[in-house]
Amino acid sequence: MDKLEVRILENLESDSELALNWESLVQTDPSSGFMQSLNWAEFKGKQGLRQFHLGLFAGEKLVGGALLYGVAESCGAGILVAPEGPVLPWHDQELASSGMKLLMQTIQSKAKELGIMAVRIIPKVPMPIPRCLRGFGKAPVDLLESETLYLDVSQKESQLLAAMKPKGRYNIGLSERHGVTVDIRQEPVAVRDFYPIFKEASSRDDFRIEPLNFFIDLADTLCPKGIAHFLFAKHEGETLATMLLVTYGDRATYLYGGISNGKRNLMAGYALQWAAIKHAQALGCTTYDFYGFDQHCAPSSAYAQFSRFKSNFGGQVMRFIGAHDFYFVDNLADAIIRATKEINLAECSQDVQAGAR
Amino acid sequence: MSIHLERGDDGQVSFYINGDLQFDSRDERIYHESLALPPLALAERRKNGFIRALIIGGGDGLTARELLKSKRVTSVDLVDYDFRVLNLAQNEFAALNDGSLFDPRLKTHIDDAWNYVEKAIADGITFDLIVSDLTVPEDAIGARMHSIEWYQMLKKVLSANGTMSINTVSPSATPDAYWCVLHSILSAGLFARPYRIHIPSFAAKGYGLDWGFVLVSNTPISSYEFESHFHLARPRLELTDVQQLRKLFAFPEEFVAYQPSSRPASQASDILLHYFNNAEELIAESGASWNSLDFDFRRVNVPSPDINKYLVPREVRALLSTPVVTPAEEEELLGRVLDLMPALHRFQTRQMVSEFLESPESFLRAIDLQALVSRLLQRASELPQKLVEELQHLSEHVRDFTGDYDGLLRLGMRVLSIVTLVVVVGNLLYPDSVYGKGEHGGGHTSGGAGRGGDRGAGNRAGDRAGDRGFDRGRGLDRGFNRGFNRDWGHRAWWGHYGQWHHWGNWGYWGWARPAYSWAYAPWWGPAYPLGTGYVNLNFGNGQCVDEQGNNYPARTYGLADTSGADITNTGVPMQTSVTQKMTGDYRLNTGADILANGNVAIPLTDTSYMLLTAQATNVVDQTSGQTIVALYNDPALIRQTAMEIRRQRRSLQRAIKKKEASQSQSDSMTFQSGNQQNQDANQAPASPQEIDNLKSTVALLNKSLHSLGQPLTLAPQGAGQGDETPHQGQGQAEREELGPTQPPVPGAIELMSSVWMLQDGKFLVLKLADGSLAYLNNKGWYLDQGVTPLKHPFPRNFKNVSQAFIAKMVKDSDAEKSSMTQDLNDGKQELAALNQDLADYETGPQDSANNGDDDKVDFGHEQIPRSEAIRRTKVQIALTQRRIDAIQSQFNSLPQELAVSQKMLQTLQS
C-alpha cells in the first residue's frame, strides 16, 4: 500500500478530476452521503458556513477524507462538523484507523487558525463504535438521524408492494382510488408550494423546521443539479402532502415532508411515499432512506407516530453510532480563559447594566 | 451570497438575497419612494444647482429610478459588489426600474462599498445626497456597514449641507437593533431623524409591521424644512404628499423605552447581530405616539459603544461578573447561566435554545475533564484566584470521576458553569445544532453511544417538556434549580408518583394527572399567536386551533344532549336519546379539546373520552354520546384545567390588544394607494375578522370555565397581579396547595382521574360523582371487594373502556421495554469492548525502552502513554456503567405498575 497522506483540498472546481473522484468516493461509501458532496458544501456555503476539505491519499489515489463545516467567527469556541463523514474505509479497521489519525492530525494542526476547539464526526457507521474513535465522546446532539429505515428499491414494484405491511399496500391503493395524484417538480420555485404545507405539518405534529431561507438556498443549489426534488400529492387541485427528496449516488433520502390538515382520509402521505420510491427507482437509486426511525415506536419517542407510518412500507432498520465529538484540550482551555477574561472585564463595564435589562 | 427571483403569473416579481425578500414588485414603490425621495427633496431644498448623488447597494436600480426623477441630479454613482444583481437590473428589472442603469447620468461601480467610500475619502470626493440601500446584515461584514466607523466615513463623503437616507431594520420587530443603528449614526456626529413605513410584502414575510429608515445630515434637520420649498419628486405612485411623509416620523411611545440600553456598535462589535437574533418585538399598547421630527436628539444620552465581539454572550457575562453572595446563588449559577443563554444565530430563537439546553451534562460528555482541569491549572496565572481554588479542589476529585456531574458541579460550580457555557456557545454557533436529533426531546438514552431521542423538540410551547421522556421531574422551579442530573432532582410534588411518570407521557394519563402537562408554562412563550389559525379561512370550519394559532384537524366527539348534566348522585347516568356530533374547536393541550359548547373533552380510547363538567368527570361513549359512568371531580384536575384555560385566555387577550394596537399604528404609516394585497400573515395588521376570531375564542374559553363551575377570575394573590390569571409563582402555590390525590385504598395505583387499580389487580376502584367508592371487576361492581353488589346496573362499557385503556398502556410499555433493552444491550456491548481494551492496555507488551508504564499505546486516533490510556479507559468504563445503571433503574421500575396492569387486564378479560 502506498504511503497515506492528507492534503487540504481548496476550492475544488466541480468538474475537475479530483472533484469527480471525491464525488465518486462519497457515492460509493455506504457510511457517507450527500452531505459530504461538493453540492451540499455549496449550499452550506450559502448558509454562511465555511468548509474545510481534506483528502486522504494513498500515493496519488484518493481513498478518503472529510468535508467539514464550521462558522467563520467563533472566538476560538468553534466546532468543525463532518456530517456523514469522515469518508473512510471503515470496513478495514487498520486503514480507517491510520486515516483517522492523519485527518485528526491535520485538523489539530489547523485548529487555532480555524478558531475551533472541537471536531464533530457523524459517519453512518453501524454499532459498535470503531476502536479508532475511542478518544471521541458522544455529542450532545445528533445532527443526523442515528436510526433509520432503508428500503431496498432495487426490487420490482410488485415485490416492494408484496413486502409492505397490508396497511401500507391498502392505503396506497385507497389513495389511488380516490384520485390522489403526485406531481414531481424540479424547479427551485416549487419551494414556495412546499413550505406552507411543511410548516402546517410542523406546527400540528410539533417538530421544528428551518426557516424558508434555508429551503430557498437548498432548492436554488440542489434542484438545478437534479439532487433535490419536490413532490406534491394532490386531490382535485388541492395539495395534501409534500416532500423534499434528495437523490445522490444510489441512495434516495426522504429529507423533509409533511401532510396538510385537509382530507386526511385520502391517505395522501402513502401516495406521496410510493411516488417517491418509484421516482427514486427511475433515477437509478437502489436504497430509499426514510431518514429517521424508531423501531420500537416507544411512546416516549417523538418519532413513534412517524415510525409507525414508515414501518408500513417495509424496509430494514439501520442503526448508526451517531455524532461524536473530540475536544482539543489546549484549544478548549484557550476558549475558557478567554471567557474568564471577558467576564472579569465585564465587572467594571456597562455590560452588566445592558445585559441585565 | 445567494440570489433568487420569482415571477408570478401576473408578472409580479419577487427578488430575494440570501433568502430575504428585497422587493416585491407590487409594493416596492412604497419602499423606494420613501427611502429616496425625502433626502432628495431635502437636498434640492438645501442646495441650489446640480446634485451629485451616491447610492450604496441598490444594484436593482430601483432607488436610482427614484433619484433620476430629478433633473437636478446630474450624477449618480452606484456602488454594488454583486454583478449578478446589476445584470438583473439591466435585464429582468429594466422595465421596473425604468432602465435607470442605462441613464447616462448613472455610473455603476462593482466594488465593496467600504473600499469605495475609503477611496472617495482619499480622493476628496463628496456627495450632496447619499442613499444607503444595503441588505439587512446577517453577519459581521454586514453589521460593519452599520458601525460608528462606517458612518464616520459617510460623514466625510457627505457634503457640508448634504443629506442622506439609510435603509435600516424594522423598529417594531427589532427595536434594539434599530436604536443600535440610530445610535451609531449619532455617535458618528451626524444628525438624524428616524422614520418608518408599512410595507405589506415585508410584513407578510414576518419582517415586522413597519420598516425603518433614517434621514441624516451633517447639519441639523429641522421640522420646518418640510414645510416650505420642500418638493417630493414626481411621478410618485405611493408617497402622496408632505403631510403623509410627516406622519412617517411618528413612532409608538413604547419605542422610546428601548433607547437607553441599545448600544451603538463599533466595527468589531457583534452587538447588532445579537440584537437581531434576540429581538423582543415592540408591543404598542398605549396608543400614544412619539414624533421624531419634534424630538431634540441632542438630549439623547447615547450609551457607550460596544467595541468587541465576545465569546460569552452579554447577558451571561453580566450574570457571571456579578459577585455570588449566598450559597443558594452559587448553587443556582449554572441554571441561571443556561436560562440566560441567547440565540447566537438568526435561525435560532430563545425557545429553541432553552430546549436545546435541557440536558446540560450532555455537553460535557466528550471532554476529558481531568486533562482539562490539569491544563487550566498549568495556566493558573491567567485565571482569577477564585477559579484557581475551585480547579485545585476539582483536581483532587476529578480523577475519581465516574459520571456524577452533579457531584462535580458541587465541587466547582463556577468552573463547571464556565466550561459548560463555552461548550454550549460552540454548539449554538453552529446553526444546525438546534435542529438536531439529540436527546433533548426526551428518550431515556442518557449518554454514550446509541440512539438519541430522534427529534430535538417541536416548536410548540406549553405542552412540551413534561410530555416526553423519563424522569422529567422538573417542576415550576425551572431554570433556577437546574444543574446536572436535574432530571433526578428538584421534583415538584407529583414526583411522588415516581415511575408512573412515563404513563403520563402519552396524553391520557398525563391529563388525568394534569400537573405533568401544565407545569411547564414557558417563560419564553410568545405573547401572541404566531400561527395563522385565527386568520385561516378554516377557522371554526372543521379545523381546530390552539393558543399559538396552530391548526389541527378537529377531533369529533359524540355527545348526548344531557351527558354533561344528567347524572345521579351515584354516578350512574340516566339514559338519553339525542346524540350530536361535536367538534373540538380549541386544542387546549395535545390531549384535550374544548368543544363548541365549552366542555373540556379528553380522548381516552378510540371509543371513549372524558368530559369535564361542573358536576362530574364523565366517561362518555364516543358513538352514542352517552355517559358510561360519572366519576368524582378530582379538585386537582379541575383547578389545573381552569388555571390553564385562564392562562391561555390571557394570552389570547394580549393578542387581541396587540392586534388592535397594530391596526391603529399601521394606519399612520400605510400609504394612500391601499396597496395591501400581500397581507396574509400574522405580522400584517390584523384584519377585523382575525380579531373577531380571537374574541370568539376568548368567549369559548369563558364558556369552558363556566362549564367547569369555575369562576372566570381569581382573586389576586401573592405577586399582586390583579388580573384573572395567576402569576407563575401563584400557580405554583396553587398546585402545591392541592397536593397529590391520595388513593382511596393504600397502595392502589392510579389509572386515570378517580380510577385506581388495586395492587392485586382484582378490582378497579372508582370514586363516583358523589364521592362514594365502587369496586369493579369483569363481573360486576360492588360497594366493597366483591361482596356487596351495587344496586345500579353494571357499567359494562366502562369495563371495556378500562380494558382497552390498560391494554394500550401495556402495549406501549412493551415498546418502552424493548427500547430500553436495546439500549442496555448497546451499553453492555460497549462496556465489554472497553473492558477488553483495558485488559489489553494492562497486559499488553511493555516498551522496555520507556520503562514500563510510560510507553506509548494507541488510544483512538492518538498515541498516548499507557498509564493515560488506562485512566481514560477506566473513566469511559465508569461512564458507561453509570449509563447502564440509569437505564436499568428505569427498567426495573416498570414491573410494578406493569405487573399490576397485566393482572388487572387479566381480571377484566376473564
Question: Do residue B438 and residue A139 have CB atoms under 8 angstroms apart?
Answer: yes
Residue B873 and residue B837 in contact, taking contact as beta carbons nearer than 8 Å:
yes
Residues A126 and A63 in one domain: yes
Q: Tell me whether B541 touches chain A (CB under 8 Å).
A: no
A110-144 pLDDT, tens per residue? 999 999 999 999 999 998 899 999 999 999 988 88
Cell of B354: 432553552
Q: Tell me whether B317 touches chain A (CB under 8 Å).
A: yes
B396-409 pLDDT, tens per residue? 988 888 888 888 88
Residues A112 and A172 in one domain: no
Cell of B369: 475533564
CA–CA gap between residue B640 and residue B25 (Å, rounded)? 51
B462-509 pLDDT, tens per residue? 332 222 222 222 222 222 233 333 222 222 222 222 222 223 322 223
Residue B318 and residue A352 in contact, taking contact as beta carbons nearer than 8 Å:
yes
Show residues of chain B in contact with A94, CB under 8 Å: none
Question: Do residue A77 and residue B303 have CB atoms under 8 angstroms apart?
Answer: no
Question: Do residue B375 and residue A330 have CB atoms under 8 angstroms apart?
Answer: yes
Half-sphere exposure at residue B29, Cβ-oriented, CA atoms within 13 angstroms: 17
Cα torsion through B805, B806, B809, B810, rounded to 10: -150
What are the residue ranges spanned by the domains of chain B? 3-299, 314-448+460-518, 543-738, 801-909
Q: How confident is the model at residue B524 (pLDDT cuts 50, 70, 90)?
A: very low
Least confident of B39-53, B326-340, B734-748: B734-748
Residue B506 and residue B463 in contact, taking contact as beta carbons nearer than 8 Å:
no
Instruction: Return the percentage of chain B with pLDDT > 90, whole number.
Output: 52
Question: Do residue B438 and residue A128 have CB atoms under 8 angstroms apart?
Answer: no
Beta bridge partners of B212: B196
Cell of B377: 491549572
Q: Residue A239 has what pLDDT?
A: 96
Residue B736 and residue B494 in contact, taking contact as beta carbons nearer than 8 Å:
no
Chain A closest-CA separation from residue B511 CA (Å): 15
CA–CA gap between residue B443 and residue B460 (Å, rounded)? 18
Residues A310 and A351 in one domain: no
The residue of chain B nearest to residue A345, with distances taken between CA atoms, is B321
Question: Do residue A210 and residue B347 have CB atoms under 8 angstroms apart?
Answer: yes
CA–CA gap between residue B825 and residue B831 (Å, rounded)? 10
Q: Residue B786 has what pLDDT?
A: 80
CA–CA gap between residue B501 and residue B639 (Å, rounded)? 20
Residue B366 and residue A138 in contact, taking contact as beta carbons nearer than 8 Å:
yes
pLDDT at B540 over 60: yes
Task: Give me the residue label for grid cell 398605549.
Answer: B286
Question: Do residue B270 and residue A343 have CB atoms under 8 angstroms apart?
Answer: no
B415-471 pLDDT, tens per residue? 999 999 999 999 999 988 888 754 433 222 222 222 222 222 333 333 322 222 222
Question: Do residue A302 and residue B442 have CB atoms under 8 angstroms apart?
Answer: yes
A145, A221, A300 member nearest B505 (Cβ): A300
Residues A88 and A198 in one domain: no
Chain A closest-CA separation from residue B306 CA (Å): 9
Provide the number of structural domains found in chain A: 2
B4, B316, B347 member nearest A211 (Cβ): B347
A19-55 pLDDT, tens per residue? 999 999 999 999 999 999 999 999 999 888 999 999 9
Chains A, B: CB contacts under 8 A, how many?
A: 349
Cell of B791: 344496586
Radius of gyration of chain B (CA): 33
Chain B closest-CA separation from residue A184 CA (Å): 19
Q: Tell me whether B526 touches chain A (CB under 8 Å).
A: no
Beta bridge partners of A183: A232
Q: Please state, in angstroms and as integers, the Cα–Cα distance from residue B309 to each residue in A51, B140, B149, B267, B418, following that order.
A: 22, 9, 15, 9, 18
Q: Residue B529 has what pLDDT?
A: 52
Please tell me if the domain spanning B3-299 has the same topology as the one spanning B801-909.
no
CA–CA gap between residue B355 and residue B349 (Å, rounded)? 10
Q: Could you tell me which residues come within 8 angstroms of residue A210 by beta carbon, excluding any fewer than 6 positions away?
A: B347, B435
Question: Do residue A299 and residue B506 have CB atoms under 8 angstroms apart?
Answer: yes
Residues A129 and A160 in one domain: no
Q: Residue B193 has what pLDDT?
A: 97
pLDDT at B733 over 90: no
B18, B321, B419 member nearest A346 (Cβ): B321
Q: Tell me whether B894 touches chain A (CB under 8 Å).
A: no
Q: For chain B, what is the mean pLDDT?
A: 81
Closest to B680 measured CA to CA, from B13, B24, B4 = B24
What mean pLDDT is predicted for residues B603-615? 92
Task: Give me the residue label for grid cell 432553552.
Answer: B354
Cα torsion through A290, A292, A297, A301, rounded to 10: -150
CA–CA gap between residue B674 and residue B26 (Å, rounded)? 11
The residue of chain B nearest to residue A143, with distances taken between CA atoms, is B436
Cell of B851: 520503562
Cell of B741: 390525590
A101, A189, A210 member nearest B6 (Cβ): A189
Q: How many C-beta neighbours within 10 Å does residue A219 have?
A: 25
Q: How confident is the model at residue B575 (pLDDT cuts 50, 70, 90)?
A: low
Q: Tell me whether B553 touches chain A (CB under 8 Å).
A: yes
Residues A48 and A74 in one domain: yes
Show residues of chain A in contact with B826, CB under 8 Å: 127-128
B16, B444, B447 member nearest A138 (Cβ): B447
Looking only at the bridges linking them, the beta strands covering B127-133 and B73-80 are unpaired
Question: Do residue A327 and residue B368 have CB atoms under 8 angstroms apart?
Answer: yes
Residues A200 and A165 in one domain: yes
Question: Do residue B437 and residue A49 have CB atoms under 8 angstroms apart?
Answer: no
Q: For chain A, what is the mean pLDDT?
A: 93
pLDDT at B571 over 70: no
Radius of gyration of chain A (CA): 22
Show residues of chain A in contact with B422, CB under 8 Å: 77, 117, 332, 335-336, 339
B1, B379, B444 member nearest A333 (Cβ): B379
Residues A240 and A349 in one domain: no
Residue B394 and residue B408 in contact, taking contact as beta carbons nearer than 8 Å:
yes
CA–CA gap between residue B603 and residue B619 (Å, rounded)? 10
Q: Residue B503 has what pLDDT?
A: 30
Q: How many C-beta neighbours within 10 Å does residue B227 have?
A: 10
Beta bridge partners of B53: B76, B129
Question: Do residue A97 and residue B319 have CB atoms under 8 angstroms apart?
Answer: no
Please name the helix (run of DSSP H) or strand (run of DSSP E) that holds residue A214, with its range, or none: helix A212-222
Residues A239 and A326 in one domain: no
> Computed from CA positions of residues B717, B719, B722, B728, in that sequence, does the dihedral angle turn out positive or negative?
negative
B631-643 pLDDT, tens per residue? 999 888 888 889 8
B304, B418, B452 member nearest A322 (Cβ): B452
Q: Assign residue A71 the CATH number of its domain.
A: 3.40.630.30
Residues A327 and A309 in one domain: no
What mean pLDDT is predicted for residues B274-281? 89
Residue B365 and residue A137 in contact, taking contact as beta carbons nearer than 8 Å:
yes
Residues A328 and A315 in one domain: no
Q: Tell me whether B692 touches chain A (CB under 8 Å).
A: no
pLDDT at B353 over 70: yes
Q: How confident is the model at residue A302 (pLDDT cuts 50, 70, 90)?
A: confident
Show the CA angle centred on residue B206, arms to residues B201 and B208, nearest 5°: 85
Residue B444 and residue B469 in contact, taking contact as beta carbons nearer than 8 Å:
yes
Show residues of chain B in contact with A352, CB under 8 Å: 317-318, 321-322
Q: Residue B730 has what pLDDT?
A: 45
Show the CA angle centred on residue B99, arms to residues B93 and B104, nearest 5°: 145
CA–CA gap between residue B472 and residue B459 (Å, rounded)? 19
Residue B285 and residue B658 in contact, taking contact as beta carbons nearer than 8 Å:
yes
B22-38 pLDDT, tens per residue? 999 999 999 999 999 99
Domain made up of B801-909: CATH architecture: Orthogonal Bundle (1.10)
> Computed from CA positions of residues A306, A311, A312, A314, in that sequence, does the dihedral angle turn out positive or negative?
positive
CA–CA gap between residue B222 and residue B192 (Å, rounded)? 10
Q: Residue B739 has what pLDDT?
A: 57
Single-letter amino acid code for the residue at B569: N
CA–CA gap between residue B45 and residue B161 (Å, rounded)? 10
CA–CA gap between residue A141 and residue B436 (Å, rounded)? 6
Question: What is the span of the domain harbouring residue A312?
Answer: 147-319
The residue of chain A nearest to residue B1, with distances taken between CA atoms, is A46
Please give, one letter per residue, the 3-state secondary structure of B810-873. Answer: HHHHHHHHHHHHHHHHHHHHHHHHHHHHHHHHHHCCCEHHHCECCCEEEECCEEEEHHHHHHHH
Cell of B29: 414603490
A138, A141, A264 member nearest B449 (Cβ): A138
> Computed from CA positions of residues A201, A203, A204, A208, in that sequence, does the dihedral angle turn out positive or negative?
positive
Task: Give me the residue label for grid cell 457507521.
Answer: A125
Cα torsion through B491, B496, B499, B501, rounded to 10: -60
Q: Residue B228 has what pLDDT?
A: 82
Q: How confident is the model at residue A84 (pLDDT cuts 50, 70, 90)?
A: very high
Phi, psi of A319 (to 5 degrees): -120, 125
Chain B closest-CA separation from residue A226 CA (Å): 18
A213, A321, A329 member nearest B371 (Cβ): A329
Question: Do residue A301 and residue B830 have CB atoms under 8 angstroms apart?
Answer: no
Instruction: Return the percentage of chain B with pLDDT > 70, whole number.
Output: 80
Length of chain A: 357
DSSP string, A53-98: EEEEEETTEEEEEEEEEEES--TT-EEEEEET--B--TTSHHHHHH
The SS3 of residue B197 is: strand
Residue B462 and residue B521 in contact, taking contact as beta carbons nearer than 8 Å:
yes
Chain A closest-CA separation from residue B74 CA (Å): 38
CATH H-level superfamily of B3-299:
Vaccinia Virus protein VP39 (3.40.50.150)
Chain B closest-CA separation from residue A340 CA (Å): 7
Half-sphere exposure at residue B672, Cβ-oriented, CA atoms within 13 angstroms: 11
Please give the residue that has the higher pLDDT: either B144 or B784: B144
Closest to B158 measured CA to CA, from B181, B131, B135 = B131
Question: Do residue B418 and residue A340 have CB atoms under 8 angstroms apart?
Answer: yes
Q: Residue B894 has what pLDDT?
A: 72
Q: Please report the residues numbered 40 through 69 in chain B whose beta carbons come closer than 8 angstroms to any beta carbon of chain A.
A: none
The SS3 of residue B466 is: helix
Show residues of chain B in contact with A318, CB under 8 Å: none
Question: Do residue B312 and residue A81 have CB atoms under 8 angstroms apart?
Answer: no
Q: How confident is the model at residue B600 (pLDDT cuts 50, 70, 90)?
A: very high
Least confident of B358-362, B536-540, B759-763: B536-540
CA–CA gap between residue B697 and residue B645 (Å, rounded)? 11
Q: Tell me whether B444 touches chain A (CB under 8 Å).
A: yes
Please name the helix (run of DSSP H) or strand (run of DSSP E) that holds residue B335, with its range, or none: helix B327-340
Show residues of chain A in contact with B437, CB under 8 Å: 141-146, 292
Q: Please report the residues numbered 463 through 502 in chain B whose beta carbons come closer than 8 angstroms to any beta carbon of chain A.
A: 464, 468-470, 502
Q: Could you tell me which residues come within 8 angstroms of residue B647 by beta carbon, excluding any fewer than 6 positions away?
A: B521, B725, B726, B731
Residues A108 and A77 in one domain: yes
A211, A322, A347 member nearest B449 (Cβ): A322
